[in-house]
Amino acid sequence: METEKTQRRNKEYFNKKAKLRESKEGDKVLVLVPRRNNKLDFQWEGPETVVKRLGVANYRVRNDAGRERTFHINMLHEAVRDTRQ
């Protein structure tokens, strides 16, 4: 009984901040990838183009050279153009 109450409360706390993130085919995104010399150090690369959505959270992404890779939505960020002049 107490466990169910705790689970319900934790679910409510999580759902307050959780957001469903989505990208559409053709969207430009930045990709978070580990650096070559240190797998614990990451950097943003891109912009790259979303080719296809694979399930709920995985996306197929193509870079300018034509190479396609699959990434979880947590490794992607919407690329924003700088409109300042």
pLDDT per residue as tens, the chain (85 positions):
789 999 999 999 988 888 888 888 999 999 999 998 988 999 998 899 999 999 989 999 999 899 999 999 999 999 887 667 6
In a domain, 8, yes or no: no
Q: Which residues constitute the domain of residue 46?
A: 22-85
Using CA of residue 55, residue 70, residue 48, residue 64, what is the dihedral sign? negative
In a domain, 79, yes or no: yes
Cis (ω within 30 of 0) for the bond into 34? no
CATH number at residue 55: 2.30.30.140
Which SS3 state, helix, strand or coil, does residue 50 take? strand
In a domain, 1, yes or no: no
Which SS3 state, helix, strand or coil, does residue 6 take? helix
What pLDDT does residue 19 have? 84
In a domain, 43, yes or no: yes
What pLDDT does residue 20 have? 83
What pLDDT does residue 44 have? 92
Q: How many domains does the chain have?
A: 1
